[in-house]
Structure 1
Amino acid sequence: MSRDLPPNCRRIEYEERTVAAKSPSKQELKEAYFAIYDNTFLDLVGPSPTAEAVLSRRYKFAHEAPVYMPNQDAVYFTSNVLRDKDKHNPHIEITKASRQADGTWTCEKVDTDVSMGNGAINYRHQILFCAQGTKMHPGGIVAMDIKPPYKTKTLVDGYHGRLFNSVNDIVTHTDGSIWFTDPTYGFEQDFREKPKLPNQVYRFDPDTGDIRVVADGFGMPNGLCFSPDEQTMYITDTDAVHPLASEIFDPTRVGTIYAFDVIKRHGSHFLTNRRVFAMADTWIPDGIKCDLQGNVYSGCGDGVNVWNAGGRLIGKIMIPSGSANFCFMRPGEILILSEEKVWEAKIGEGVQGALLHNLGIEVKPKM
């Protein structure tokens, strides 16, 4: 049954989804809006959804690793790979974006020694960063203080003596373990040495030092997250994109989200029953997160795509120039990174990210 649409929403009709000649235009998007593929998405976006650009720069300062710190009402994130005018000296910046009392946003660079930071997550009053490393400095998992001078400590940088390739994204389990992906993008972008390990997913116990491979067989393992009950893990494979290839995007390679059952055997967690959860129809699914209802969100070529727990695409937050990553903030708020801009989306007040909830971090609604 059709329902009236709130403002800033557009329904994607049957033929637009099923007949290629009538599908939505892939021309450059000028304004953000909410694409409704299924009426259940209307329950998520609420009666008056909005998406507004709140920060803007003339370079790709907003790419990955958005981490919301409720006690600061601030988000930390990383830039894309930046290079000097002569295209040397690859580096990545970390930015802290803070919301002011009037709702506006300001940002400042974080001066720290995380080497080519990428994905990140909240961790014991700190932030865990994926340090991709350089040809001179190994990457790994790095804990950073959230107050100046932003001291860091490397927790792990390799698998039993073999250095990681370029650690990409990270999530934690309520048992304290750290799970992360390690593709070879650093080597492909010419800031890491030749890989010494396959493209894999790892589980690390920071209390015991135990590190295990928990999944392989990926082209480029990238984003990962747990379902709210931690019974399912979602992992994105972004093998369709290779930044320095003659053709950056290859539509015949995977841009897919895989789902795994998380089981426990002999005192250890394993990932089993690998299956295709969803494929992005535009570009690739990169960063990935769940809300408390089990819906799955991923940053894709046209914005943030949303699937229900059964893998059905129910809607999109369409963002000009797309989005690689995003984070939930207070209930009903999502901060979306879009390279040269940062967007704040406001949706239904009951929508809350599962990550901070599972970590036991209280996030209070706006008063």
Structure 2
Amino acid sequence: MTSILKDGIKVQPVPVKVVDLLHKVQTPTESGRSGSSSLETIAIKEFHSSLRSVIGDTSTFSLLLSADTSRNPFFHKGCAYVVDTDELYVTSDLLQSTISSRLPVILISKLSFRRTTESSSSGSLTAPITSIEWMKLRPPANMPMPSGAIPYKRGVLYCSQGAHEAYSGGLFHMPLGSRPIPVATNYFGRAFNSVQSVIEGKDGALWFTDSCAGFEQEIRPLPQLPSHVYWFHPTTGELRVVADDLKRPAGIALSPREDTLYITDTEAARPGNKHASRSAATIYAYDITRRPGSSPFLINRRVFAFAFSGVPAAVICDPTGNVYAACADGVEIFNSGGTALGLIQIPGTCSSLCFGRKGELLVCAGQSLWRLQLEGTIFH
């Protein structure tokens, strides 16, 4: 497919409002009935003074790309930043095919960034993005319906949800410029349901979530397995179920010390759910433990946080252990103890996010892609 060049990207300061949660009454407009927002720009709500260590005093934002004219949700999942090439890889939501008899499609966006010189008169940690080359790509035939993704071995590791064929989908490594290589495609002969998100540990092991989302969207056959969280080591080939107590596992993140695993349950967003107000829209935390001579286990499951609005579709950690969740109202930020620090309000419903260069937060919100430059001391 042809590429699109967008230049002249503007950088604007982010307004910050300190909110007293003890005395604040939320209005219907602020809470949002369906995750929609009337915002036309980004703003930050500070709930706790320690948020300043994240945002600093001069944080800025840019609207990198917008698909408002087509109204297609090109910026949905993936959000894998490759530092060596200064590129971001994003997957779309389901896009309807022009032929009614065919399944919807998911496209991959390859976004090549161009920046100002590294030195910045404003003292910013990272040079801002001034232009983008945007190329939309069809996934290879053996990697249908890609969802989550991370940078991996000079390329990208994709979660392929699969298609109507029972044994399609799994984890696939796509080296830059090469076709995808299967990494894990089944659990002892039983097909994965609809792999959603993956994270790599420092030891090279992969933790990933698998839910029935693909079956719910009618792109996958009847599930063969429960909704599981898996641990897989590509070197040894060992594959284990490490959690089976979530109804719709989605996002996944490791703490900086890799002693805590965060997993989101998005059961409240399940299509046709008549009891969404009583369903999980929750980030759970698990302790990671190892017995002598064994692979890791997850213990001590606990509620870490419940989303302010919508569901926590994706989750990441910063270098000090703060947790960022992509939700209907924007990016919700918590410290490692689960205290709500603040909210980065973003137009639309946020569905994925990742860190780029130092202090740079990249956020997907359906028809738009945003960049925030966080200037807090934790990134210095």
Map of 1:75 onto structure 2: 88
Residue 194 and residue 45 in structure 1: after superposition, are their counterparts in 2 closer, same or farther (change >3 A)?
Answer: same
Residue 10 and residue 162 in structure 1: after superposition, are their counterparts in 2 closer, same or farther (change >3 A)?
Answer: same
The runs of 4+ residues in structure 1 deviating greater than 6 Å are none
- Residue number among 15, 20, 41 corresponding to 1:13 in the alignment: 20
Matched, 1:118 2:147: yes
> Per the alignment, in what secondary structure is the counterpart of residue 215 of structure 2?
helix
Alpha-carbon offset, residue 268 of structure 1: 1.3
1:237-264 Cα distance to aligned partner (Å, 9 max, x none): 0000024x276x8121010000000000
- Residue number among 214, 228, 232 corresponding to 2:242 in the alignment: 214
Map of 1:63 onto structure 2: 76
Q: What percentage of aligned pairs have identical amino acids?
A: 35
Preserved CA contact (<8 Å) 1:112 1:151? no
Cα RMSD over matched residues?
Answer: 2.0
Alpha-carbon offset, residue 111 of structure 1: 4.2
1:41-79 Cα distance to aligned partner (Å, 9 max, x none): 122111111222111122100001111111111111100
Residue 60 and residue 16 in structure 1: after superposition, are their counterparts in 2 closer, same or farther (change >3 A)?
Answer: farther
Question: Greater RCO between the two (CA within 8 Å, min separation 6)?
Answer: 2
1:263-317 Cα distance to aligned partner (Å, 9 max, x none): 0013210000000000001000111110011100010001111000110110111
**Matched AA of 1:67:** A
Preserved CA contact (<8 Å) 1:178 1:205? yes
**Matched AA of 1:203:** W
**Matched AA of 2:93:** N
**Matched AA of 1:55:** L
How many pairs were matched up? 343
> Per the alignment, in what secondary structure is the counterpart of residue 326 of structure 1?
strand
- Residue number among 50, 54, 59 corresponding to 1:49 in the alignment: 59
Q: Which moved more, 1:297-306 or 1:130-139?
A: 130-139
- Residue number among 303, 314, 319 corresponding to 1:287 in the alignment: 314
**Matched AA of 1:298:** A
Alignment of 1:132-171 (within 5 A): 132-136=161-165, 138-147=168-177, 150-171=178-199
The TM-score with structure 1 as length reference comes to 0.89
Residue 91 and residue 204 in structure 1: after superposition, are their counterparts in 2 closer, same or farther (change >3 A)?
Answer: same
Residue 116 and residue 197 in structure 1: after superposition, are their counterparts in 2 closer, same or farther (change >3 A)?
Answer: same
Matched, 1:32 2:42: yes
The TM-score with structure 2 as length reference comes to 0.86
Alpha-carbon offset, residue 236 of structure 1: 0.3
- Residue number among 269, 276, 282 corresponding to 1:256 in the alignment: 282
Matched, 1:237 2:252: no
C-alpha separation between the residues in 1 aligned to 2:334 and 2:328? Answer: 15
Matched, 1:310 2:310: no
Alpha-carbon offset, residue 87 of structure 1: 7.8
- In structure 2, runs of 5+ residues without a counterpart are 1-12, 117-129
- In structure 1, runs of 5+ residues without a counterpart are 1-5, 353-364
Preserved CA contact (<8 Å) 2:193 2:225? yes
